[in-house]
């Protein structure tokens, strides 16, 4: 069963964009998912049969995860939400750009349609100059972040490094003896943070036998089916072995972030989700609570489980753009933000072969673009993005439900669109 479902989901990773069904035809309202009391059997979205992760049902799922899986709340805090002033600029939808390797011109609005956007927002100098919602997502709807979650956890861990609670040169086994027989044992905290570990683990979304799917099953994110491996994220990472030498090259593996979440919990003695709430989320002046998907043992999914609203992601992005200062307080130390913006080892990153990210690097679970504007971003599969452009004083957040997982499938339109909006906003200044 699982092979068939994964083939439906991921065998199309290499399919050309123009052969995919359109965003308009797969709109959740048009499809009628989960409407009625009870819904018609043909319109159900369920976890137990994995239909929740089959396109186009995913266009409903990504705004309704809490109705399908167990979660842990991130409380927004007792204070009033920090207002975001709306100063809409009607011209942004029509800002034009040329996609990578093409000659045809597209607009920012075209890009949102092409990437199956569920919501998009542009901040300029802290004001909302563009905001739009599509499909099943509205202003108050928490949407799955997937690997944007990593940047939240990476920021939190970098804060602990700055405070001396977590030492970046120490080995993982020094903090987590439970991993002494795993491939992570001799990796350093820094190698975990920057994903330069060498682990026998595949995150190839086009391969139904890739480890990433067993990882998801171990925590109950996908139903276990015939999977008979360990239960829980921590038990799963303890089974992974080394392959190669740590520190040689960047290699994107979500299991690094699960180890990072475990490290955060161990050195602080706190639940990592609770700490994320205390140190970051409750200090953003968020409009809504967020929540994290948890495994069957109650562990927050550090690699991809955060669900939050578009505007609250924008608050986090704007705080990072402003050097960690927000709502009258220094939420994240400026030195931590500066370290992220400087980036990681570009030579190690280049070995991973990301053709749409030439010259980029990875630092503290953030993607650093090293373009003239100093942009850096949080990125998640199926089109999730917080894109921060310090020079243009701009933050773009896009939440999406693209049928293809890897961002490399649509970076060719996304990244030039972000740059074009930045250029437009700087020209207005």
Catalytic sites, residue numbers:
147
User: Which residues are CB-contacts of 380 (< 8 A; sequence separation ≥ 6)?
Assistant: 144, 145, 146, 147, 148, 149, 304
The first and second tokens of residue 429, run together, are 């200044």
Closest CA to 84 of 57, 41, 124, 120: 124
What would the DSSP string read from start to end of 349-404? HHTT--TTSTT-EEETTEEE---TT--EEEEETTTEEEEEETTTTEEEEEEE--SS
Contacts of 68 (CB under 8 A, 6+ apart): 45, 46, 47, 52, 61
With tokens 């020209």, the residue in question is 427
Direct distance between the N- and C-terminal alpha carbons of the chain, in angstroms, rounded to an integer: 56
Q: CA 167 to CA 157: how far, in whole Å?
A: 10
Alpha carbon distance 99, 105 (integer Å):
7
Closest by CA position to 316, among listed 401, 395, 392, 370:
395
Rounded CA gap, 356 and 168, in Å?
30
Distance CA 200, CA 181 (A): 14
């Amino acid at each position: 069963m699982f092979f068939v479902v994964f083939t439906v989901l991921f065998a199309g990773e290499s399919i050309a964009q123009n052969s995919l069904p359109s965003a308009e035809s797969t709109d959740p309202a048009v499809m009628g998912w989960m409407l009625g009391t009870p819904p018609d059997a043909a319109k159900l979205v369920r976890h137990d049969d994995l239909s929740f992760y089959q396109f186009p049902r995913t266009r409903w799922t990504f705004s309704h995860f809490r109705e399908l899986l167990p979660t842990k709340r991130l409380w927004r805090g007792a204070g009033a939400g920090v207002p975001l002033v709306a100063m809409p600029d009607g011209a942004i939808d029509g800002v034009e750009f040329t996609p990578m390797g093409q000659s045809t011109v597209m607009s920012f609005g075209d890009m949102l349609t092409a990437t199956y956007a569920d919501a998009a927002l542009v901040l300029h100098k802290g004001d909302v100059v563009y905001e739009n919602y599509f499909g099943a997502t509205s202003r108050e709807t928490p949407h799955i972040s997937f690997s944007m979650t990593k940047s939240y956890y990476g920021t939190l861990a970098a804060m602990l490094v700055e405070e001396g609670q977590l030492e970046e040169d120490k080995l993982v086994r020094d903090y987590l003896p439970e991993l002494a027989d795993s491939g992570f044992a001799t990796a350093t905290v820094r190698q975990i943070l920057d994903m330069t570990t060498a682990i026998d683990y595949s995150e190839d979304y086009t391969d139904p036998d890739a480890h990433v799917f067993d990882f998801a099953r171990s925590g109950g994110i996908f139903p276990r089916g015939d999977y008979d491996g360990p239960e829980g994220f921590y038990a799963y990472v303890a089974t992974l072995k080394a392959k190669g030498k740590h520190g040689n090259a960047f290699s994107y593996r979500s299991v690094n972030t699960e180890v990072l979440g475990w490290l955060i919990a161990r050195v602080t003695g706190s639940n990592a989700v609770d700490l994320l709430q205390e140190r970051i989320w409750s200090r953003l002046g968020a409009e809504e609570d967020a929540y994290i998907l948890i495994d069957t043992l109650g562990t927050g999914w550090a690699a991809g489980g955060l669900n939050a609203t578009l505007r609250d992601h924008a608050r986090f992005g704007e705080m990072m753009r402003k050097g960690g200062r927000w709502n009258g307080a220094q939420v994240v130390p400026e030195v931590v933000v500066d370290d992220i913006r400087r980036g990681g080892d570009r030579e190690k990153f280049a070995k991973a072969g990301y053709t749409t990210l030439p010259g980029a690097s990875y630092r503290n679970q953030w993607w650093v673009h090293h373009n003239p504007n100093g942009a850096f971003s949080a990125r998640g599969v199926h089109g999730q993005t917080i894109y921060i452009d310090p020079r243009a004083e701009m933050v773009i957040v896009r939440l999406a439900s693209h049928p293809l997982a890897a961002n490399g499938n649509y970076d060719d339109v996304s990244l030039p669109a972000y740059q074009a909006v930045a250029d437009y906003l700087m020209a207005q200044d």
